[in-house]
Amino acid sequence: MERIERHASFGGWQDVYQHESSSLGCTMKFGVYLPPQASSGPVPVLYWLSGLTCTEQNFITKSAVQQLAAEHGIAIVAPDTSPRGESVADDPAYDLGQGAGFYVNATEAPWSDHYRMYDYVVSELPALVEKNFPVSQARSISGHSMGGHGALVIALRNPGRYRSVSAFSPIVAPTQAPWGQKAFSAYLGGDQEQWRQYDAVELIADAKERLPLLVDQGLSDDFLQNQLRPELLQDACAKVNHPLSLNLRDGYDHSYYFISSFIADHLKHHASALNT
What are the residue numbers of the active site? 145, 221, 254
Alpha-carbon gap, residue 30 to 78, rounded angstroms: 5
Instruction: Give 42-107 as a DSSP string.
Output: -EEEEEEE--TT--SHHHHHHS-HHHHHHHHT-EEEEE-SS--STTS---SSTTSBTTB-TT-B--
Alpha-carbon gap, residue 35 to 11, rounded angstroms: 7
Closest CA to 170 of 142, 197, 195, 133: 142
Q: Phi-psi category of 229—alpha, beta or left, where left has phi over 0 and alpha has psi -120 to 50?
A: left
